[in-house]
Homo-oligomer: A and B are copies of this chain.
Amino acid sequence: MPRPEAPRVAIQRWTAGGWTEVPDQVAAEEPLQLNLDGEPLSIVMRTPGHDLELALGLLWAEQVITDLAQVVRIRISAEAGEEEGAVAVVADLVESNEVDVHLRSAGRCPQRSFLSSSACGVCGATTLESLALDFPPVAPGPAVDAALLPELVERLRAQQRVFEQTGGLHAAGLFSADGTLEVLREDVGRHNAVDKVVGRALLDGRLPASESVLAVSGRAGYEVVQKAVAAGIPVLAAVGAPSSLAVATARRFDLTLAGFLKKDRFNVYSAPERLQR
């Protein structure tokens, strides 16, 4: 079975002793545009590979298709030229991040758009072109003591009593550059926790939050980075791993992105200059 690629990136690794530049690998994340009968239906942020299965599985879960026989053919580039059971898989899309499923007759709900189930950074976008982000780079913002980032994660955990009870909540915390907790929100959805923090900052008249640090309990995918950029937050620290698109987006907008936050170490994927040594 082919395995997803893990793109290589050069990162800065902080340990209690100092900094080293090391090569690293991150999980691949790219947008896939799903078309139904030639019309854009949805964009899914995914790890490339098995896109055919992804498209069909998604349409199945949504009951757009209830039988493989409803699918006449699938146009795709990356895995094209294959016969997949009774389905003709045709290789004539130029764009590799696109799959077009053609149905025998109109599916159960072909007119419906797929709606967001968790707040997301590609909402409203039906085509890859519309994903282009219309934000300025984040402001230089404050210098932050590198040793503070692991402490922020500890403070996030200390506040997270519900997580300890259920294991099922993500947290997002907005901190000042000296480590004071400004807002903490918890949610089953990683993106929701960030949206709640940003919504609070908006209500308090504090956007762009160009003097703050955002810490999140989970991974940093594209959407979390996009939400930080939208809020003008200069530093994002994630307990978990970043994706390739998260790294690329952070670099594009000059956001400091730190991941794998542990007590005595973390990785910096973008704009390390904000972190004081």
Give me the interface of A with B, judged by CB distance under 8 Å. 1, 3-4, 6, 25-29, 42-47, 50, 52-58, 60-64, 68, 84-85, 87, 109, 112-126, 134, 161-162, 165-169, 184-189, 192, 194-200, 202-205, 207, 219, 221, 223, 226-227, 230-231, 240-243, 260
Q: Which of B115, B187, B203, B221 contacts A125 (CB 8 A)?
A: B115
| Cβ contact of A47, chosen from B1, B47, B187, B207, cutoff 8 A | B187
Copies of the polypeptide in the assembly: 2
Given contacts A57-B227, A62-B123, A117-B120, list 7 more A-B pairs with CB under 8 A.
A4-B186, A43-B117, A52-B203, A56-B203, A60-B195, A61-B123, A168-B242
Nearest to A243 among chain B residues (CB) is B188
- CB atoms of B221 and A188 under 8 A apart: yes
A199–B60 contact, CB under 8 A?
yes
- Bound-state CA distance A110–B92 (Å) is 34
Question: What are 13 A-B residue pairs whose CB atoms fall within 8 Å in the complex?
Answer: A4-B169, A26-B168, A44-B116, A44-B192, A45-B118, A46-B187, A47-B187, A54-B196, A54-B199, A60-B198, A113-B115, A117-B123, A168-B241
